[in-house]
Structure 1
Amino acid sequence: MANGSRSMKPGEIVLPLALGQFVASFAATNMNVAISTIAADIGTTVIGIQTTITLFTLVMASLMIPCSKLTDIWGRKACFVTGLVIYGTGALLASSAPGQGLLTFGYSVLEGVGSALLIPPIYILVTVVFADLGTRAKYFGVVSGAGGLGAAAGPLIGGLITSGVGWRASFLLQVLIVVWIIVLARRIDDPPRTGRRPRFDVPGALLSVLGLFCVVFGVLLTGNYGWFAARKDFSIGGTVVIPAGGVSPVWPFIGLGVVVLAVFAWHIRARERAGRDPLVSASLFRDRASNLGLLTQSVQWFVLQGSFFVLSVFLQQVRGDNAIQTGLELLPATIGILISSAAAERLARRHSQRRLIRSGFVTTIAGIALLLALVRDDSGFLSSVPGLFLLGAGVGVMLTASVNLVQSTAPEQAQGDISGVSRSVSNLGSSLGTALAGSVLLGAAHPGGTPFALALGTLGLVAVLGLVAAILIPRGPVSATGTPPAPRASTD
């Protein structure tokens, strides 16, 4: 452990961090199974609730980098606890919402802001508290496993609570968990930051928020408008801006986002050259291992969330499963994630992060291949078990190894920067995976057979591209402490 935290037990640090990641991941997926119930209860439409869910993703993804920078100014523990308070307040308001307005403010805005504040400190604290790479991998495995469990179990837990008690109880459960985490977090000893506190780059924050918002919003529009030709009129304020059949509004938004992010990149370089504090140091993007690690992170979340979406749609619309049955059928993937995450420390001590990421992609691709080979419209539950388990196990290995690689390439003073960028690319990957899979399945009259195979095959192709990126990661990257990553790190 870091010098300032020797008196602390690892569990006192890691348990609240893992629970924080769990509740944030849970919030991102549990609403999906209660859309119709919530819409009927508060007198709105299914589209209205879907918009609320989309806005949560937008707020969280857009604010991740600026909120991560605040950890350098306010402190990691302070940001973590502040994020929990905002998140818990949002969940409490959402649980009592009489209409869509308060639900959107509580869930989309406050829970989105809270998630953006509390998630980056989780990964920063694990990095700065645990200097040894193997130990760090162990606790990244715990955190990643908690995140995977929250994302995978969200539909199942949400379905059970909605069916048995009501959708409002799901938000109250989040409030109780948040209160528990805040109590546990009192014992976290945040190692003091070395050097002066940076100034907050307001213009850079605005540019990053606008750029990421436009890119993620454009990606999320694919479900309604498609990737190429607009499936229906795109209107703003009642005025048709793009008629049906015209170019999809996806591309104008993504194009605008890319332009704004290019201006953001120019801004941080200019600010750094002038000796002023940028929102994110441009030097982070000059490290080949870090850049390729970030790319593999994005692909991992792309494949994981895309696969869960494809299988959820297939099981509910083709097999006729309800939310609870769907959650149970996805359980093998959750078990795979938990087992591989639990083995993270042992794997990190025996193999380089590069090798683990490559092995994870190979295992994930094998899982997708088994799903394509065995799962049919009329096949039974067992047909999906081998593929889902390998998919989960492969992703679990990669999630821990990629996070460990990326976080360990940055020195302690840049942990806030790299954590924000890391979480942003992961969110972007999740959005892209769901959007791409959704554009293939939701446009089909029957989301089984060929559309199902096409969607899964596309995800498999993206996983192959991730494997290529993993192969290109340079050998034997050194951790931020200057210690070689593992005793046999160079024996790839």
Structure 2
Amino acid sequence: MSQPPTRSPATPSAAARKPTTGHPAGPRQPADAIVPTARSRAAVALLLTGNFTLAVDFSILNVALPHIGTELGFSAGGLQWIVTAFALCAAGFTLFFGRVADLFGRKRLFLAGMALLGAASLLGGLAGTPALLLIARAAQGVATAMVTPAALSLLTTMFAEGPARARVLGLNGALMAAGFTSGAVLGGVLTGVINWRWAFYINVLVAAVVLLAAPTILREPHRSDRPRLDLPGAVTITAALLALVLGITHAGEHGWAVLGTWLPIAVAVVLGAVFVVVETRVAQPLIAVELLRRNTITVGNLAGLLAFATETSLAFLLTLYLQETLGYSAVAAGLILAFLGIGTVLGGLLAPKLIGRVGPRRALIAGFGVQAAVTLPLAFIGADRAWLIPLLALTFIGGVANLVAIVGYVVTSTTGVPADQQGLATGLVTMSQQVGIALGTPVMSALVVSQAAAGLLSGIRFAVAVNAGLALLTCFVVAALLRPPMGGRTQ
């Protein structure tokens, strides 16, 4: 976002008052971009429901993995692919579908993605073999890559830049983060009370409701221009992201000192370089160069990637600690981590007010600073349950701070972007989110494994310390590099 919101909650941002220099004005926003109507509120509820459901999907099967492995006959090494297949597709295809949303319609892509989610979830619920389940999970990942940028771009074009958009993005961020942390709780309850297959069947019901309601509730501005899709760019960046996630995931399972880890990472670097060359030569690139020249886009998305990577991987580390060190059951561990989820919801509600007062840059700095401060004490956790109360308090505060950072990065990375490029901007936002989620846990897992000789608790402490360090480093990077465009004000 090139222009941060002004300090007055009642005053639209500078970017909302005048067009951004060097960009086409794009299609006009709908009337309810200024004054929310009953229809726009229903549309927001529908879009948030879709995003929350997909966020839950990322973690809902984690607790159920042993049950799934026993029932379907997964090998011990094959179980991790239930998570990896989803993460690979969700992260790998999100930028591609962000551009597709701009070209062929966000509403159409949202509906197609929800239909795919329903079909994939039904297949997953009925799966009787490992192959069918993995196909279903991969399809759910593709559905996530379709729905999330489409929904986010519909939200950003529904409201003018300023407090209204910040509020809805705050609520979206809160529900997304709460979905990641509550997925484990819901998965544990469904597995223990009914059956793990209901983790899939619930999606079928949600998708059916959304598909019935969306055609009459959702709308988007009419567009006469339909530029061509940059297919070479789409193929190279998608392959690069897939290779990167695959390499980091392999590191989490097998460590860093193996060829299977570094080969796909090297391929990702080469493909990334090819992508840059392609984008400088095609007439209608997948990523507009003028967008990447904005430090609000580049620094904002880097901050978003690290915001999701640090907090979702911290939940993984604490799950290990609660179950393997303190001896809590999987369901009890999920309920304990629900305090982190409650904190994220509160953070999502508080973030728009904070951004309205101090601006997204300062909100980002404050969010990461507080997150680092409350994460660092967890690097000294002990092997007795006396640590439970401090853990609850620290993770709750960390959840609030993390959501302030997440909403700050979404506001930063989408402000000042023309309406006809919002799909691309939100595709970048979604890519940062999905790549952060996909990479964070394997990296932390690899750090735990690297300290195996000293014991599991020592490995968890080391990984938590690195996690806090990453949050603090991001705080410094944002403070040093994030500046408003010429004529803007540093906030």
- Quick check: TM above 0.5? yes
Counterpart among 448, 462, 467 of residue 454 in structure 1: 462
| Sequence identity (%) | 26
Q: Distance in 1 between matches of 2:420 and 2:270?
A: 29
CA drift of 1:65 comes to: 1.1
1:122/1:446 CA distance change after superposition, 3 Å: farther
Residue matched to 1:214: 243
Residues 1:376 and 2:403 aligned together: no
1:357/1:447 CA distance change after superposition, 3 Å: farther
1:477/1:187 CA distance change after superposition, 3 Å: farther
Q: Distance in 2 between matches of 1:362 and 1:442?
A: 27
Q: Distance in 2 between matches of 1:35 and 1:138?
A: 36
Q: Distance in 2 between matches of 1:210 and 1:148?
A: 27
Q: Which has the higher contact order (CA 8 A, sep 6+)?
A: 2
Q: Distance in 2 between matches of 1:46 and 1:340?
A: 38
Structure 2: 5+ residue runs without aligned partners? Answer: 1-27
Code of the aligned partner of 2:385: S
Tell me whether 50-59 or 26-35 shows the greater mean CA deviation.
50-59
Residue matched to 1:404: 411
Counterpart among 30, 43, 47 of residue 3 in structure 1: 30
Tell me whether 21-30 or 426-435 shows the greater mean CA deviation.
426-435
CA drift of 1:338 comes to: 0.5
Q: Distance in 2 between matches of 1:392 and 1:180?
A: 30
Code of the aligned partner of 1:451: G
Tell me whether 442-451 or 407-416 shows the greater mean CA deviation.
442-451
1:282/1:382 CA distance change after superposition, 3 Å: same
Give aligned pairs, total: 459
CA drift of 1:73 comes to: 2.3
Residue matched to 1:416: 423
Tell me whether 388-397 or 340-349 shows the greater mean CA deviation.
340-349
C-alpha contact (below 8 Å) 1:289/1:473 kept by paired residues: no
- The 5 A counterparts of 1:145-294 are 145-194=174-223, 196-227=225-256, 229-230=257-258, 248-271=259-282, 276-294=283-301
CA drift of 1:185 comes to: 2.0
1:215/1:11 CA distance change after superposition, 3 Å: same
TM-score for both structures, normalised by structure 1: 0.89
Deviation string, structure 1 residues 421-448 (Cα, Å, up to 9, x no partner): 2211222222221112101224526754
Counterpart among 330, 339, 363 of residue 356 in structure 1: 363
Structure 1: 5+ residue runs without aligned partners? Answer: 231-247, 485-489
Question: Which secondary structure does the structure 2 equivalent of 1:47 belong to?
Answer: coil
Residue matched to 1:31: 61
C-alpha contact (below 8 Å) 2:299/2:482 kept by paired residues: no
Deviation string, structure 1 residues 96-154 (Cα, Å, up to 9, x no partner): 0011111111122x211111110001211111111041111100111111111110001
Question: Which secondary structure does the structure 2 equivalent of 1:167 belong to?
Answer: coil
Q: Distance in 2 between matches of 1:357 and 1:97?
A: 43
1:262/1:280 CA distance change after superposition, 3 Å: same
C-alpha contact (below 8 Å) 1:93/1:103 kept by paired residues: yes
Deviation string, structure 1 residues 339-358 (Cα, Å, up to 9, x no partner): 11112332222120001001
Tell me whether 92-101 or 432-441 shows the greater mean CA deviation.
432-441
CA drift of 1:475 comes to: 4.6
CA RMSD of aligned residues (A): 2.0
1:249/1:48 CA distance change after superposition, 3 Å: closer
TM-score for both structures, normalised by structure 2: 0.89
CA drift of 1:42 comes to: 1.3
Deviation string, structure 1 residues 22-49 (Cα, Å, up to 9, x no partner): 1111111111111110011112223223
Question: Which secondary structure does the structure 2 equivalent of 1:192 belong to?
Answer: coil
Code of the aligned partner of 1:470: V
Code of the aligned partner of 1:141: G
Question: Which secondary structure does the structure 2 equivalent of 1:191 belong to?
Answer: coil
Question: Which secondary structure does the structure 1 equivalent of 2:62 belong to?
Answer: helix
